[in-house]
A = this chain, B = another copy of it.
């Protein structure tokens, strides 16, 4: 028998109805709530968010208690210390969650803005207006702060959200979600605009991913295996990226000092994230000048280097890179280095091994920059800057729900604007079609 918290039925949360009906009912409620949110005012949505952050801060001790239950269960189940760490809420992380909500509240309203506006010869006035997508499903792993983060972004952008967090954080997530529900109600908005799937049963996810009619988009947040599992079984469009194998190409015309700074930042500043560099490509004409000091800096920082043969002739302490290395997202202090003979070889290499998330060139040559920026078709391409800037905050979006390598709808950092769609409002005075 699974432990009681593994499944909403046993914990008494799902009682009367079966799982399918529970999920369906949530989806229908979300659709109704989405309609109200879509026509709500910015003031009302901001009031709900302000109330949520206030209540979150006021509920610190209750949240810590709920979180303690989650942690106790995770420890009893023999989860690793790192796992329990990701699960853990503290006074500081609760304050950070509340501050995050405040930050989203202060962002400009993405709704109602005219994206374009024109007049036809027959007098019709056409306005393309930003509207919410509708119902967003967010599927994530064990960090409970995603609950607050995703709920705030969805409410701000006028979307209803169905949250499905990791089962290990169920009590924490439920406590945070219920704070949002109460805050919505206090602002006279429907509580069902933020709902947590009230069951830790894995089948609930499969059911949710089939509700194409009720859910408009799915945002998975977590590791590649979670995202692949979601993308493969979803009949609902998924905003996603699988992995970030980001490249920096150091051109023969690079400023060596600048190239070192950028490459070091791209690899070392935070190696565990998708926009960190995994493969470094170096033009042969600069390799002997660039690689020795660069290699030294990496070695000092504890970066394991894996190089092609030509790299190893210059950096004998580098390990030999295998074919698999060029396609590996290390998310760690490991870097694969390859010497290339031309920018074309670099671009072809990126096409073959990149994941289309972010790639950079370092060069002082305008023609080379232009060629790279045009021909490398990743969601973000950088000239003389670190790939680590591929991020909603760094782009100035104020917040992000993730990064997309999709080619449709949203590419790159996904902020509030990317959580909207548009409709055409057409004003006439009796026009008919001839």
- Of A55-63, A78-86, A280-288, A374-382, which binds chain B? A374-382
Decide yes or no: A216 and B408 within 8 Å by CB, A38-B377, A262-B430, A432-B262 being known contacts: yes
CB-CB contacts below 8 Å: A123-144 with B: 124, 126, 131, 133-134
Q: Encode A371-413 as 1/0 by CB contact (under 8 A) with B.
A: 0011101111111111011000011100000000011110110
Q: Encode A247-261 as 1/0 by CB contact (under 8 A) with B.
A: 000000001001001
> A269 interface residue, CB < 8 Å from B?
yes
The smallest C-beta distance from A117 to any residue of chain B, in angstroms, reads 12
User: Across the interface, which residues of B come within 8 angstroms of A262, CB to CB?
Assistant: 430, 432
Bound CA span A269–B408, Å: 35
Decide yes or no: A237 and B433 within 8 Å by CB, A396-B120, A423-B380, A428-B384 being known contacts: no
> A225 interface residue, CB < 8 Å from B?
no
User: Across the interface, which residues of B come within 8 angstroms of A431, CB to CB?
Assistant: 384-386, 389
**Once the chains bind, are A217 and B407 in contact (CB under 8 Å)?**
yes
**A contact face: mostly helix, strand, loop, or mixed:** mixed
**Once the chains bind, are B382 and A428 in contact (CB under 8 Å)?**
yes
User: Across the interface, which residues of B come within 8 angstroms of A407, CB to CB?
Assistant: 133-134, 216-217, 421
> A43 interface residue, CB < 8 Å from B?
no
User: Across the interface, which residues of B come within 8 angstroms of A270, CB to CB?
Assistant: 433
**Once the chains bind, are A375 and B421 in contact (CB under 8 Å)?**
no
User: Across the interface, which residues of B come within 8 angstroms of A38, CB to CB?
Assistant: 377
> A39 interface residue, CB < 8 Å from B?
yes
**Once the chains bind, are B377 and A131 in contact (CB under 8 Å)?**
yes
Decide yes or no: A237 and B408 within 8 Å by CB, A374-B39, A377-B38 being known contacts: yes
The smallest C-beta distance from A322 to any residue of chain B, in angstroms, reads 23
Decide yes or no: A409 and B409 within 8 Å by CB, A269-B432, A386-B431, A433-B265 being known contacts: yes
Write the chain B residue with the least CB distance to A38. B377
- Cross-chain pairs A/B with CB under 8 angstroms, 18 sampled: A133-B407, A237-B237, A237-B408, A261-B430, A265-B432, A269-B432, A380-B425, A381-B424, A382-B428, A385-B427, A385-B429, A386-B433, A388-B432, A388-B433, A389-B431, A408-B408, A411-B424, A412-B423
> A-B pairs with the 8 shortest C-beta distances?
A385-B428, A265-B432, A388-B433, A409-B409, A408-B409, A380-B424, A258-B430, A385-B431
